[in-house]
């Protein structure tokens, strides 16, 4: 059932600018808490850089652990923005309106956080320069452009640039509203940021065209980012279970699965924290739930193909690895948790409209998905490396150290911290989208019933 | 036609729409009779080709390569075409309404293809001693499961077609007399349009549509695994079944674009099938063509970059070796032409542009099926550990050519005959759309207001 609420423009401004113009106590408490976790992560990173990578659990043959798992996880979360904003904008889905900004901002912050991980992972961050940028031409030492580890930063920074532009273009009308409601230096900052927005027909047209163009242009970048991340693994032939042709679309759809789930989590929190019940309604969770059923089932099909064709060759090293992943403690426990949380608990629940319309249940199931998707990346990366060598005496295992755990926890705190700061400076729900939605909302009488209707955009 | 909508049809009264579509449905025009006659003759030629092929027996699988290619081609194009009704219906896109029946009617072609599928079962080797997705299961597992998948897909397609046609069958019953009325009364199953009947039809169509989609993907997964991957030793390719399913989605749109063009141009349905349908489908066609490249590239780069000898041989078999010209043709027809043409809005928003791209994809997919199935059927020792020698290209003989002509004509013939049982344009969905849509003034513009019922 659609639960439309009729709202005046003035009320929309008042409600949605509450996050920027009011200063509730919970906001300071939250910023303080995530700031502390972040601080612990910063100190841990500093300690690791000082003492060396030996303070982590990384050791031969498992040289990629929590940091790279977390890197892939955050790149995955960053797929929320484009999926929600670009695709729903291009398909003119009305329910996108309250969701877009949060998804786009989550993309930018998740991507920034993800990009930090390879830097931290090097242990000596300044050495990243040798790895990713050309240096020492006189000795003929160049970056290996044939390595996916070089394609990665290019894709990520292109995506980050595109996503930031995407957020900025969609912010312009709202920045002008903020300009008109502030004074002093803040007013000047918003004046500069809104680029002289006056809301003329030409400006609206340009903003709409820019949004559509960016939506279309960013889609290939969006696909390329996680494909290239997947090729970091899949082009390698030395690690069993990594050399799989399905990896690129499997990673992309997995990223969308976890990204859209993260948007659901964020939407629920926004509704609770800022009391935006009139804007973020059960029908929006219902639509996201339906989308998630399709996305997660496609992801599960690709996962099935990946596992099936892993063992299809019936080669003993791969069979041994899969046995370890699925049947050996503690990997078996992680594998079961992964399957249950990423698919078998949430998806059957989402089939029920009552669940999709329950904000609490959607919140908790979306959290479950991301627990599962984090474990999925961990189970792809670590067991494969632990069994990388053909001789059993060179097999190994991996136990994360407290330093790695703190840095991973800090990455979640960093995204939360940045989002909270953003909410203090910019509205998390686009004001102009809400107002446009109100203008387009109509009602038609069909027979004896009044049916919600919309003006169709051409 | 204005604003990209089917304005003319929507301006008529619901009764006019019913009368008009049913009149076309009843008519046996000389053009239709000539088409049926030509298709029947060509189909008979195919039967002759099939008899010649039967003389060779089933020992040499390579001789049946082109036969397998054409069966899977029909699975990829005609049997995937109902997706053009299913996907937009699940997404509640209104542009589907005039073309949903035309898409669902390809379920009838599925029945014809099921008959063509039977000989393939005799060509599939036992699973003993070779790598298959059935591992140590019963040696006849692929035979049983592939048959069940095909049968369920066809049954589901027919059930979906029939369930979605009930209101139109009732309309045909109420607008005819004599034996014809008796036939449609039986097919309409007592449809009176009660609230309960409408509730049931919506739920049945929804459930059957979801089932059909799942069966289609599952059937492609099985056929691609058992008839291609399983026959080429050492070919371990997790994306291939998904690539074939994706190719089916691309080809389904191409099939429908060409069908819509024919219905518009030569069958008198231009009032109903307009720019809106071509425009919407061309956007989807561009998206699926980009995905076609993406799925192909995702598989290719892993093999090419890995430099493993087995994988290099597989690349040689299906891409760079004896089938290189066919691969290039496919690549140009399925990706380059759609990309170069469909990136332009002017081409997407036209009738001819998307139709030309649709034809290109239909031809490209045909070559692709030849590349994959004939090459896989050329491998003699399917129990080897790895592909060491790439067999030469197998060229078609006269029997193969007759079989291809006959199979395609048979598919066309079954579709043409089905249009005289089911109205090819969905009457009740168009009439429903007329209820849900009004033109109104909005400031200084005239806009469309669209009701969005649950």
Residue A243 DSSP SS3: coil
The shares of helix, strand and coil residues in chain A, as percent rounded to the nearest 5, are 75, 5, 25
Has residue B3 got a pLDDT over 50?
no
Question: Mean of the per-residue pLDDT values for chain B?
Answer: 92
pLDDT on residue B221: 97
Are A276 and A16 a contacting pair, CB within 8 Å? yes
> Could you tell me if residue A383 is inside a domain?
yes
A2: nearest CA partner in chain B? B454
Q: What is the nearest CA distance from B230 to chain A, expressed in angstroms? A: 10
Are B261 and B413 a contacting pair, CB within 8 Å? no
Q: Report the alpha-carbon distance of residue A243 to residue A227 in Å, rounded.
A: 14
A245 touches chain B (CB under 8 A): yes
Residues of A in contact with B452 (CB under 8 A): 2, 94, 451-454
Residue B435 DSSP SS3: helix
Cα–Cα distances (Å) from A8 to A108, A170, A382, in that order, read 31, 21, 54
Residues of A in contact with B236 (CB under 8 A): 309, 312-313
Choose the closest CB to A1 out of B298, B308, B454: B454
What's the average model confidence in pLDDT over B66-83? 96
Pick the range with the lowest mean pLDDT from A268-272, B150-154, B385-389.
B385-389
Cα dihedral B268, B88, B97, B349 sign: negative
Under the banding of pLDDT at 50, 70 and 90, the label for residue A133 is low
Choose the closest CB to A245 out of B133, B302, B452: B302
Nearest-5° angle of CA A303, CA A306, CA B308? 160
A302's CB contacts (< 8 A; 6+ apart) are: A246, A249, A250, A253, A254, B242
Please write down the HEC assignment for all residues of B235-291. Answer: CCCCCHHHHHHHHHHHHHHHHHHHHHHHHHHHCCCCCCCCHHHHHHHHHHHHHHHHH
Are B275 and B351 a contacting pair, CB within 8 Å? yes
Contact A305 B238 (CB under 8 A): yes
Residue among B234, B298, B301 with most chain A CBs within 10 A, to mutate: B298
Using an 8 Å CB-CB cutoff, list residues of chain B that contact chain A.
3-4, 131, 133, 135, 217, 221, 229, 236-242, 290, 294-295, 298-299, 301-303, 305-308, 435-436, 438, 442, 447-454
Contact B242 A2 (CB under 8 A): no
Please provide residue A442's backbone torsions phi and psi, each rounded to the nearest 5 degrees: -135, 180
Q: Is the model more confident about A400 or about A128?
A: A400
Strand pairing category for A449-455 and B445-451: antiparallel
> Which of B153, B314, B158, B160 is CA-nearest to residue B222?
B153
Residue A54 DSSP SS3: helix
pLDDT on residue A389: 77
B433: nearest CA partner in chain A? A446
A231 touches chain B (CB under 8 A): yes
Residues of B in contact with A446 (CB under 8 A): 435-436, 451, 453
pLDDT tens-digit series, residues A106-127: 999 999 999 999 999 988 888 7
Are A257 and A373 a contacting pair, CB within 8 Å? yes
pLDDT on residue A3: 64
A239 touches chain B (CB under 8 A): no
Helix axes B240-266, B65-76, angle to 10 degrees: 70
Contact A451 B290 (CB under 8 A): no
Q: Report the alpha-carbon distance of residue A56 to residue A52 in Å, rounded.
A: 9
> Could you tell me if residue A73 is inside a domain?
yes
Cα dihedral A157, A163, A168, A169 sign: positive
Structural Rg of chain A based on CA atoms: 23
Under the banding of pLDDT at 50, 70 and 90, the label for residue B111 is very high
Strand order in the sheet with A449-455: A441-446, A449-455, B445-451, B437-442
Helices (H), B267-418: 275-306, 309-315, 324-331, 337-342, 345-348, 352-369, 375-377, 398-418
> Could you tell me if residue A268 is inside a domain?
yes
- Which residues in B144-155 are b (16+ Cβ under 10 Å) and which e? ebbbebbebbbb
Contact A458 B290 (CB under 8 A): no
Are A428 and A102 a contacting pair, CB within 8 Å? yes
pLDDT tens-digit series, residues A222-245: 899 999 999 999 988 888 889 999
Number of domains forming the structure of chain A? 1
Has residue A392 got a pLDDT over 90?
no
A306 touches chain B (CB under 8 A): yes
A305: nearest CA partner in chain B? B238
Has residue A130 got a pLDDT over 90?
no
Please provide residue A376's backbone torsions phi and psi, each rounded to the nearest 5 degrees: -55, -50
> Could you tell me if residue A420 is inside a domain?
yes
Choose the closest CB to A312 out of B236, B294, B298: B236
Burial class (CB in 10 A: 0-12, 13-18, 19+), A267: buried
Q: Report the alpha-carbon distance of residue B181 to residue B164 in Å, rounded.
A: 19
Q: Containing domain of residue A284, as a range?
A: 9-454
DSSP B422: S
> Could you tell me if residue A171 is inside a domain?
yes
Contact B452 A246 (CB under 8 A): no
pLDDT on residue A124: 85
> Could you tell me if residue A3 is inside a domain?
no
Contact B236 A309 (CB under 8 A): yes
Residue B53, token pair as written in the block: 């092929």
Pick the range with the lowest mean pLDDT from A124-133, A207-216, B250-259, B442-451.
A124-133
Q: Report the alpha-carbon distance of residue A440 to residue B442 in Å, rounded.
A: 10
A303: nearest CA partner in chain B? B238
Are B79 and B106 a contacting pair, CB within 8 Å? yes
What's the average model confidence in pLDDT over B188-193? 91
Contact B302 A309 (CB under 8 A): no
pLDDT tens-digit series, residues B5-32: 555 566 678 888 999 999 999 889 999 9
What's the average model confidence in pLDDT over A348-355? 96
pLDDT tens-digit series, residues B34-73: 999 999 999 999 999 999 999 999 989 999 999 999 999 9
Choose the closest CB to A451 out of B229, B237, B451: B451
Nearest-5° angle of CA A374, CA A376, CA A378? 75
Residue A87, token pair as written in the block: 């695709």
Contact A455 B305 (CB under 8 A): no
Has residue B368 got a pLDDT over 50?
yes
Q: Report the alpha-carbon distance of residue A437 to residue A88 in Å, rounded.
A: 14
Q: Report the alpha-carbon distance of residue B405 to residue B45 in Å, rounded.
A: 8
Residue among B239, B303, B447 with most chain A CBs within 10 A, to mutate: B239
Under the banding of pLDDT at 50, 70 and 90, the label for residue B252 is very high
Residues of A in contact with B306 (CB under 8 A): 235, 237, 243
Helix axes A247-274, A66-77, angle to 10 degrees: 70
Q: What is the nearest CA distance from A313 to chain B, expressed in angstroms? A: 6
Q: What is the nearest CA distance from A247 to chain B, expressed in angstroms? A: 8
The maximal CA–CA distance of chain B, rounded, in angstroms, is 74
Percent of chain A at pLDDT exceeding 70: 96
Q: What is the nearest CA distance from A2 to chain B, expressed in angstroms? A: 8
A46 touches chain B (CB under 8 A): no
A216 touches chain B (CB under 8 A): no
Q: In this complex, how many residue pairs, one in chain A and one in chain B, have their CB atoms less than 8 Å apart?
A: 104
A359's CB contacts (< 8 A; 6+ apart) are: A268, A271, A272, A282, A285
Residue among A246, A313, A357 with most chain B CBs within 10 A, to mutate: A246
Q: Is the model more confident about A139 or about A31?
A: A31
Are A429 and A127 a contacting pair, CB within 8 Å? no
CB atoms within 10 A of CB A250: 28
Q: Report the alpha-carbon distance of residue B374 to residue B29 in Å, rounded.
A: 40
Pick the range with the lowest mean pLDDT from A7-16, A44-53, A114-123, B97-106.
A7-16
pLDDT tens-digit series, residues B326-351: 999 999 999 999 999 999 999 999 99
DSSP B415: H
Are B132 and B142 a contacting pair, CB within 8 Å? yes
Residue B182, token pair as written in the block: 């008796």
CA torsion, ordered A357, A360, A364, A369, to nearest 10 deg: 20
pLDDT tens-digit series, residues A295-308: 999 999 999 999 99
Q: Report the alpha-carbon distance of residue B445 to residue A220 in Å, rounded.
A: 35
Q: Report the alpha-carbon distance of residue A223 to residue B425 in Å, rounded.
A: 37
Burial class (CB in 10 A: 0-12, 13-18, 19+), A43: middle
> Could you tell me if residue A4 is inside a domain?
no
Spell out the domain ranges in chain B.
7-277+398-450
Q: Report the alpha-carbon distance of residue A274 to residue B280 in Å, rounded.
A: 39
Are B357 and B332 a contacting pair, CB within 8 Å? no
Pick the range with the lowest mean pLDDT from A154-158, B215-219, B368-372, B416-420.
A154-158
> Could you tell me if residue A202 is inside a domain?
yes
Residue A79, token pair as written in the block: 């797929």
Residue B136, token pair as written in the block: 């140590």
Choose the closest CB to B449 out of A2, A311, A444: A444
B451: nearest CA partner in chain A? A453
What's the average model confidence in pLDDT over A199-212? 92
Residue B304, token pair as written in the block: 């090419």
Q: What is the CATH number of the domain that holds A214?
A: 1.20.1630.10
A224 touches chain B (CB under 8 A): no
Under the banding of pLDDT at 50, 70 and 90, the label for residue A136 is low
Please provide residue B445's backbone torsions phi and psi, each rounded to the nearest 5 degrees: -115, 160
pLDDT tens-digit series, residues A148-190: 888 888 899 999 999 999 899 999 999 999 999 899 999 999 9
Tokens 């990423």: give the residue: A342
Q: Report the alpha-carbon distance of residue B416 to residue B420 in Å, rounded.
A: 7
Q: Report the alpha-carbon distance of residue B317 to residue B390 in Å, rounded.
A: 6
Are A261 and A359 a contacting pair, CB within 8 Å? no
A287: nearest CA partner in chain B? B91
């Amino acid at each position: 059932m659609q639960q439309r609420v009729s709202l005046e423009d003035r009320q929309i401004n008042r409600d949605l600018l509450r996050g920027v113009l009011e200063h509730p106590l919970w906001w300071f408490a939250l910023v303080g808490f995530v700031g502390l976790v972040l601080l612990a992560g910063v100190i841990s990173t500093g300690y690791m850089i000082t003492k060396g990578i030996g303070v982590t659990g990384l050791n031969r043959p498992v040289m990629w652990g929590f940091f790279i798992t977390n890197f892939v996880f955050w790149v995955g979360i960053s797929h929320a923005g484009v999926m929600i904003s670009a695709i729903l904008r291009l398909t003119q889905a009305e329910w996108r309106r309250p969701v877009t900004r949060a998804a786009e901002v989550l993309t930018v912050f998740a991507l920034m956080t993800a990009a930090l991980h390879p830097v931290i992972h090097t242990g000596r961050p300044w050495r990243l320069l040798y790895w990713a940028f050309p240096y020492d031409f006189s000795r003929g030492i160049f970056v290996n452009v044939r390595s996916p580890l070089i394609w990665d930063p290019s894709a990520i920074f292109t995506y980050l640039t595109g996503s930031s532009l995407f957020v900025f273009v969609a912010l312009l009308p709202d920045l002008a509203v903020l300009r008109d409601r502030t004074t002093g230096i803040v007013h000047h900052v918003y004046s500069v940021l809104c680029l002289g927005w006056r809301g003329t027909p030409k400006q609206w047209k340009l903003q709409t065209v820019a949004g559509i163009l960016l939506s279309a242009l960013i889609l290939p970048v969006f696909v390329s980012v996680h494909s290239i991340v997947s090729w970091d693994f899949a082009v390698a032939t030395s690690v069993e279970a990594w050399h799989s042709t399905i990896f690129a679309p499997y990673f992309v759809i997995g990223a969308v699965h976890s990204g859209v789930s993260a948007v659901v989590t964020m939407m629920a929190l926004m509704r609770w924290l800022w009391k935006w019940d009139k804007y973020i309604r059960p029908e929006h969770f219902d639509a996201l739930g339906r989308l998630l059923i399709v996305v997660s089932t496609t992801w599960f099909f690709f996962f099935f193909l990946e596992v099936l064709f892993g063992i299809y060759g019936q080669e003993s090293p791969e069979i041994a690895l899969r046995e370890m992943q699925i049947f050996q403690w503690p990997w078996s426990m992680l594998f079961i948790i992964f399957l249950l949380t990423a698919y078998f608990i949430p998806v059957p629940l989402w089939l029920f409209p009552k669940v999709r319309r329950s904000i609490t249940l959607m919140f908790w199931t979306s959290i479950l998905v991301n627990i599962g998707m984090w474990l999925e990346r961990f189970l792809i990366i670590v067991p494969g490396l632990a069994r990388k060598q053909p001789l059993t005496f060179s097999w190994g295992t991996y136990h994360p150290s407290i330093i790695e755990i703190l840095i991973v926890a800090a990455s979640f705190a960093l995204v939360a911290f940045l989002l909270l700061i953003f909410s203090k400076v910019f509205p998390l729900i686009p004001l102009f989208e809400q107002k446009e939605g109100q203008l387009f909302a109509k009602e038609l009488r069909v027979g004896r019933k009044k049916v919600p209707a919309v003006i169709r955009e051409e | 036609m204005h604003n990209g909508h089917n304005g003319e049809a929507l301006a008529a009264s619901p009764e006019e729409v019913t009368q008009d579509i049913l009149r076309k449905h009843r008519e046996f025009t000389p053009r239709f009779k000539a088409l049926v006659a030509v298709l029947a003759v060509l189909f008979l030629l195919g039967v002759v080709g099939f008899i010649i092929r039967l003389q060779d027996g089933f020992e040499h699988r390579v001789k049946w390569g082109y036969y397998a290619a054409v069966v899977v081609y029909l699975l990829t194009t005609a049997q995937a075409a109902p997706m053009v009704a299913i996907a937009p219906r699940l997404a509640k896109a209104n542009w589907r309404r005039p073309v949903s029946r035309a898409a669902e009617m390809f379920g009838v072609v599925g029945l014809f293809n099921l008959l063509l599928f039977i000989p393939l079962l005799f060509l599939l080797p036992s699973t003993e001693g070779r790598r298959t997705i059935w591992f140590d299961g019963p040696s006849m597992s692929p035979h049983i499961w592939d048959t069940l998948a095909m049968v369920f897909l066809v049954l589901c397609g027919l059930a979906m077609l029939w369930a979605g046609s009930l209101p139109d069958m009732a309309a045909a019953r109420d607008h005819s007399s004599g034996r014809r009325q008796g036939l449609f009364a039986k097919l309409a199953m007592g449809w009176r349009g009660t609230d309960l009947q409408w509730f049931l039809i919506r739920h049945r169509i929804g459930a059957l549509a979801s089932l059909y989609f799942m069966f289609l993907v599952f059937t492609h997964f099985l056929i691609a695994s058992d008839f291609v991957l399983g026959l080429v030793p050492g070919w371990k390719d997790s994306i291939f079944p998904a690539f074939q399913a994706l190719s089916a989605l691309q080809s389904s749109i191409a099939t429908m674009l060409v069908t819509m063009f024919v219905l518009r141009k030569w069958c008198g349905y231009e009032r109903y099938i307009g720019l809106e349908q071509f425009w919407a489908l061309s956007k989807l066609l561009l998206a699926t063509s980009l995905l076609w490249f993406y799925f192909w590239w995702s598989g290719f780069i892993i093999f090419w970059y890995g430099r493993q000898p087995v994988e290099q041989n597989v690349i040689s078999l299906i891409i760079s070796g004896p089938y290189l010209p066919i691969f290039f043709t496919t690549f140009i027809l399925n990706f380059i032409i759609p990309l170069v043409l469909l990136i332009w809005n002017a081409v997407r928003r036209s009738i001819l542009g998307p139709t030309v791209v649709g034809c290109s994809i239909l031809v490209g997919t045909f070559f692709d099926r030849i590349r994959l199935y004939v090459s896989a059927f050329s491998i003699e020792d399917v129990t080897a550990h790895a592909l060491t020698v790439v067999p030469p290209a197998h060229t078609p003989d006269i029997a193969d050519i007759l079989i291809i002509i006959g199979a395609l004509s048979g598919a066309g013939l079954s579709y043409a005959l089905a249009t005289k049982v089911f109205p090819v344009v969905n009457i009740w969905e168009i009439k429903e759309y007329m209820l849900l849509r009004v033109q109104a003034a909005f400031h200084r513009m005239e806009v469309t207001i669209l009701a969005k019922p649950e």
